[in-house]
Amino acid sequence: MVRRQPRRGRASVLAARLEVVPRTPRIEPDGGVVARLGGVALALPEAYEEDAWTGVRWRIRAKTFAHVMVGQAGYESSFRSITGVADPTTLLTFRASGDELLALVHTGLPFYKPPWSPTIVGMVLDGDTDWAEVAELVTESYRFCAPQKLVRLLDAG
C-alpha cells in the first residue's frame, strides 16, 4: 500500500512560494522629482495625483497622463529589458501621438518606447533632464487624455 501526502490547496502552495521568494523593497522616486512633476501636472484643469502600483501618477478623470517611478532590479521593467540598464533609474512615462511620438521614440535615450501601449513614451529623468521639455511633454500628454472641454479651458487660460 502506497501512502500519499495530503494534497495542499492552491492557496497554501501560493503562500509557501511567497514566503520563499525574498523581495527587494521598491525604491520610490525622489520627493523633489515628484514635487516638480506635480507642480506642472496639478496646474492642469481637474488633474489629480495618486500613488500608483509603484511611484506616483497624475490623472485626468480615469486616464493616466504622467507616471514617475524607479526602474530597478527585482521588478519587471520594460526600460531595463529595452536598454539593458540594471541600475535603479528614475523614469517618467507619458502619452504622445503623431509626429511627436515618432520623433521621441526614434531619438534614443533619454527616451524609449515601452511595448505595452502604442501611445506611451518613457523618459529617463536624471541630472541632464531638460525640465522645460518635461513640462511641455506632460502638458501635451494631458491634452491627449483630457476631454475637449478641458483642453479648451486650458487653451483659454
**DSSP string for 97-147:** -HHHHHHHHHH-TTEE--TT-TTEEEEE-STT--HHHHHHHHHHHHHHHS-
- What length does the chain have? 157
The confidence band for 74, taking pLDDT boundaries of 50, 70 and 90, is: confident
pLDDT at 4: 46
pLDDT at 2: 45
Exposure of 157 in the CB half-sphere (CA atoms within 13 A) = 9
Instruction: List b or e across 2-14, with b for residues whose CB sees 16 or more CB atoms inside 10 angstroms.
Output: eeeeeeeeeeeee
Torsion angles phi and psi, residue 39, rounded to 5 = -60, -35
CB contact at 8 A, 55 and 27: no
C-alpha cell at 4: 500519499
The more confident residue out of 75 and 71 is 71
